[in-house]
Amino acid sequence: MVIEQIKMPQLGESVTEGTISKWLVSVGDKVNKYDPLAEVMTDKVNAEVPSSFTGTIKELVAEDGDTLAVGEIICTIEIEGSNTEEVSGSEQKTDVSETVEVPNHTDQGNKARYSPAVLKISQEHGIDLTQVTGTGAGGRITRKDLLKLIESGNIPTAGATAAAPKKAEEAQPAAVQETVPSVSTQPAAAPKQPVPAPSIPVAAGDIEIPVTGIRKAIAANMLRSKHEAPHAWTMIEVDATNLVEYRNSLKDEFKKKEGFNLTFFAFFVKAVAQALKEYPQINSMWAGDKIIQKKDINISIAVATDDALYVPVIKHADEKTIKGIAREISELASKVRNGKLRSEDMQGGTFTVNNTGSFGSVQSAGIINYPQAAILQVESIVKRPVVMNNGMIAVRDMVNLCMSLDHRVLDGLVCGRFLQRVKEILENTSKSTTSIY
């Protein structure tokens, strides 16, 4: 028999961890290759983790609600048809990027095997892992164990007891590399002090709502973006009167013929994709010691549910027609609502367009979808009196386009020109100039 490991997959770019929302199998169950094992949620997607093997579930390492780093083991499967020598060889194979062995003079089972997430947290907060009692399988220290210690403020540090190592370096392996490389010539900073949770009195009638794994992941991603990317903000006003008339003249026939809606949003995404092709600097990402200007134009679109926000991607949006973009918007939104969004639907985004106008917003400042360099908020189209070039006042359909940008990557000049080009495309959208096919 051979024991194989199933690990937490990376369900989207910049995703570093996932939460087991529900196990679909139990210990002893027989599974076939590609059978779903568990439902996993991240800040970007809900997905099923399939089995890579045919065999019997040997151990569920994680429990429902546990959050694990990408690459951590979630369960093991016993594979039939191999000899014991293969078992031994398989068990000895360990990818150093997944688990790091740390010297430990006492026999504590799996306690001396630390995941990248555990190592990173311990280094950030100066935690001596040899003094931590793990609650995972075989005494293994989990991410949740460290978070509880940090929240309590009772952090064991090197030298606090006689059993601590003589040198901190012995229990501090090299930091795990981040998804986006960074370069620093500064000396190592002192361990971060834990931030205590605010003490909020709970009165009669107040409702306490537990923070779910996906909400924690969203919070962490938004916090990282705001902390790392210096946000700047700009807005431009667009006269969408011709666009509105053109779309409204087509929408009923289009729905009858194609079976899905021709939305205003599809026109905006197409205009943005065209402008990105002309201003490729906007289609970039910060990578520490360099800026990566992406060749492909893949538009992330924000799709909200009652309790979460997802950003599926329209790949090669500049090569698609307005009809093709409208179809993808409809399909991706349907996948989000039905919980069918796949990890590949979330990957590869280079610029985000958010349809904040769908709930009536007229002005907003979005948080950049890390590690992208900018996000554009398309606000609500509203009728307003406007002074025309001839000095006359007319009622026009107006819309604000609000752009947040990473000032490390982009400056106001190129962003202003980009928005001017998007404005020009939209204001010249009409039956005589624009085809949806």
- Identify whether the C-beta of residue 222 lies closer than 8 Å to the C-beta of residue 367: yes
Describe the chain by its helix, strand, coil percentages, rounded to 5: 30, 25, 45
Amino acid at 132: V
Both ends of the chain: CA-CA distance in Å? 57
- Phi, psi angles (nearest 5°) of residue 415: -70, -40
Q: What does the alpha-carbon distance between residue 365 and residue 226 come to, in Å, rounded to a whole number?
A: 12
Strand, coil or helix: 243: helix
- Identify whether the C-beta of residue 257 lies closer than 8 Å to the C-beta of residue 311: no
Of the listed 125, 231, 316, 407, which one is catalytic?
407
Q: What does the alpha-carbon distance between residue 257 and residue 11 come to, in Å, rounded to a whole number?
A: 35
Cα–Cα distances (Å) from 208 to 49, 202, 211, 307, 389, in that order, read 31, 8, 9, 15, 56
CA angle (385 as vertex; 383, 391 as ends), nearest 5: 145
Of the listed 64, 252, 296, 411, which one is catalytic?
411
- Identify whether the C-beta of residue 4 lies closer than 8 Å to the C-beta of residue 31: no
Tokens of 381: 């189209």
Q: What does the alpha-carbon distance between residue 217 and residue 40 come to, in Å, rounded to a whole number?
A: 12
Return the closest-CA partner of residue 397 out of 372, 426, 356.
426
Q: What does the alpha-carbon distance between residue 269 and residue 326 come to, in Å, rounded to a whole number?
A: 9
Q: What does the alpha-carbon distance between residue 237 and residue 427 come to, in Å, rounded to a whole number?
A: 11
Judged on CB neighbours under 10 Å (0-12, 13-18, 19+), 106 is: exposed
Q: Which residues contact 28 (CB under 8 A, 6 or more apart)?
A: 56, 57
Q: Is 407 a catalytic residue?
A: yes
Count Cβ atoms below 10 Å from residue 361 Cβ, excluding itself.
Answer: 16
- Rounded to 10 deg, the angle between the 143-152 and 116-125 helix axes is 20
Positions marked active-site: 407, 411
